[in-house]
Amino acid sequence: MLVAWLLAPGFEGHGAVDYVHLAWDANTETNVAGYRLYYGVRGEAVTNRVDNRKATTRRQDGLRAGASYFFFVTAY
């Protein structure tokens, strides 16, 4: 189940992007056990998967400054 597409850059230091703060609305279904965040560099395949458990926010560190990323979240 697709919950949301996300793109929300964060800035640190001298304006170099190396993290993002992400947030999404909780799924309204009562049987949701958690959320998985998927992301990668734009134009490439999904290269990362993170189990975010039941949290609906995340700070994702370790991004390459200057790269365009895509993010999406699924509920499980």
Q: Could you state, in order of their start, the residue ranges of all structural domains in the chain?
A: 31-71
When mean pLDDT is compared across 9-18, 23-32, 64-73, the lowest value belongs to: 9-18
pLDDT at 66: 80
pLDDT of res. 16? 59
CA separation, residue 55 to residues 8, 23, 36, 44 (Å): 17, 9, 10, 27
Instruction: Tell me the whole-structure pTM to 2 decimals.
Output: 0.76
Question: What's the rounded Cα separation, in Å, for the pair 60 and 17?
Answer: 11
